[in-house]
Amino acid sequence: MGAAALADAAGLETGTLMKFSYSFAAVTLASLLCAGASMAQQQPPAGMTEGMDPAIARRMAIPPAAPVVFDIPPATNEWLTWGYDQERTGWNRAETMLTPKNVSHLKQAWSTQLSVPVDKYVLSTMTAPVVVSGVSTTSGPRDMLFILGANNALFALDASTGQILWQKSYPNPASPLKPKEWLCPGTPNDTPTIDKARGVVFFITGDGVLRGLNLADGAERLAPVPMTAPFARAWSLNLIDNVLYSTSGRACGEVSDKTSLEYVAAISGLRRAGNGPLLDASAVNAADVSDLAHPQVVHFFVSGARPAAPWGRGGAARAPGGIVLETSDGRVDPAAGDFSESILKLSPKAARLMDSYTPTNWLDNLQHDMSGSATPVVFNFAGKTLVAASQKEAVLRILDASSLGGANHMTPLWQSSKLGNDEKTGTDPSRGVWGSITTYENNGHRYLYLPLYGHPSKDAPTFPITNGPREDGSVMAFEVKNDGGKISAAPLWTSTNMIMPDPPVVANGVLYALSTGGQAMQNMAHPGEKRLTYDVSSVLRSTPVSNMVLYAYDAQSGKQLWSSGKTLTDWVHFSEPVVAMGKLFVATHDGHVAAFGLKK
């Protein structure tokens, strides 16, 4: 990558010379500034406290606090948020109807066309669905499914029949000032989340406004409040202790309100050369909705511009004492407020940075666009709370949630060899791990599942069980191991060949995976060719290479149990399958929601 391209990746103005002074001293300074845990969890070096005020010396000598107990909330046979739960595990722990023995009998139960127009610039026509059981309605209790369309319409369906129960539309009153493009279509991108206790579904519309509606009838329950800039690319909502979190990035939002925090952050950051609107800075957005009549929104800006965009589809994941998220391409310069290329831990309400992990090869990842693309997953194992993370780089890393990267913030508990992406391409074609990582536990055995774009690496470990060649992509399964306190992950099995697989989900011993059928090339028809204009590349990107196919596997052995074959004729972009109440739900690019179940 040349200097201009590298500067562009980091969000610098065109022609600006990008300087990387990357020494051990700089890393040490960054680690000290990057997390409050480092100094608090270490005794001061001998001699440091000589001549120091005794009170300060005593405070520096305080031993580290005991680890936060990380309790997992009780499971329900619903799918209330992206990835099933706050930890983004992708594992429905309460599903019992579908089993490894009967899943081969799945048939399409219903398919409903929603009034969402298809647009070549909009790859994600709809978000992933969320599902809730036993909603009290005027016609009795109903199991309901909710999905947000790119046209700013929220749809409520009967999850049993596919009947549309109600829909609400919120057209964006603003007009974009920059030309339309598929990378920034200006449409909603956030999977809604459901607060069942209060009977509210929350979502963000294209104008950046957070909304909350009554589950039963769509009546307004939350006082609408701006949560992101209009046209921002915001990711899935996560509700934790009455605080809603959504990450946003890629400088898609347009900031015009000079009194807003978004304006202050964006005007202070590095900006691209050229005319046009002021674009939003990458951020973690938090809304305290304890009082539905008076929601309070705050932001933690991970840079002052496009760099460090949190790109994982699931947004932020719950972790002990806060939330964790990944950030993408940009400089690692915490002292300047740039938190790129990292796994970050923030305190509740995104009030401050608590910890971080940055891989030692972050600069190489930046140079080749191989950084953040998948939401980390959080889980308990062997007396610890762990975080599993991977990126377009296609390396699996396991981190300790209480100290993400050790004393220097760059040391994982364990990391794999390269799993894919030997070519080092983030795009053209897209390779590596995208979306999120899934986890599952059975009889004391803990498993991880990664959706990999592209063929396996020549350095990938040998998987004992495979399901044939996998040149386009696959799901890779690992078992987490504990050898005398040393954490690792052993390869178990791989799926059949899949095209741009979405993050898989697990329920009752069955793993459900989705080959989306999407186009992995982004800016050119073939690798190495001239970059296409957005008008042309949008057609390329929105033209699938295959139909989408659902698969079911035994989550432990990897045996394929079922496939939807040609039943689903369309494709989908950046979604996930959902399993709850004996049904498997998917959304399609052409505006359909489909459900698969067992014949009664």
Q: Is residue 66 part of a domain?
A: no
Q: Is residue 70 part of a domain?
A: no
Q: Is residue 135 part of a domain?
A: yes
**Residue whose structure tokens are 């969890």:** 41
Cα–Cα distance between 81 and 56 in angstroms, integer?
45
Q: Which residues of 379-405 are buried (b: 16+ CB within 10 A; e: fewer)?
A: bbbeebbbbbbbbbbbbbbbbbbbbbb
CA-wise closest residue to 278 among 307, 257, 259, 247: 257
CATH number of 176's domain: 2.140.10.10
Is residue 429 reached through a cis peptide bond, with omega within 30 degrees of 0 on the bond before it?
Answer: yes
Q: Is residue 67 part of a domain?
A: no
- How many residues are recorded in the chain? 600
| Burial tier of 269 (Cβ tally within 10 Å: 0-12, 13-18, 19+) | buried
How many domains is the chain built from? 1
CA-wise closest residue to 267 among 253, 255, 284: 255
Q: Is residue 493 part of a domain?
A: yes
Please report, as a single letter, which amino acid is at residue 440. Y
Q: Is residue 65 part of a domain?
A: no
Give the pLDDT confidence score for residue 8 in this predicted structure: 44
Q: Is residue 157 part of a domain?
A: yes
Tens place of pLDDT per residue across the chain (600 aa): 443 344 444 444 333 333 333 333 333 333 434 443 333 344 555 555 567 777 776 666 666 666 667 999 999 999 999 999 999 999 999 999 999 999 999 999 999 999 999 999 999 999 999 999 999 999 999 999 999 999 999 999 999 999 999 999 999 999 999 888 999 999 999 999 999 999 999 999 999 999 999 999 999 999 999 999 999 999 999 999 999 999 999 999 999 999 998 999 998 886 555 578 999 999 999 999 999 999 999 999 999 999 999 989 999 999 999 999 999 999 999 999 999 999 999 999 999 999 999 999 999 999 999 998 999 999 999 999 999 999 999 999 999 999 999 999 999 999 999 999 999 999 999 999 999 999 999 999 999 999 999 999 999 999 999 999 999 999 999 999 999 999 999 999 999 999 999 999 999 999 999 999 999 999 988 888 899 999 999 999 999 999 999 999 999 999 999 999 999 999 999 999 999 999 999 999 999 999 999 987
| Burial tier of 201 (Cβ tally within 10 Å: 0-12, 13-18, 19+) | buried
0.85 cut: is pTM over it? yes
Give the pLDDT confidence score for residue 172 in this predicted structure: 96
Q: Are the C-beta atoms of residues 188 and 127 closer than 8 Å to each other?
A: yes
Q: Are the C-beta atoms of residues 555 and 561 closer than 8 Å to each other?
A: no
Q: Is residue 434 part of a domain?
A: yes
Give the pLDDT confidence score for residue 272 in this predicted structure: 54
Domain extent, residue 513, equals: 3-60+75-597
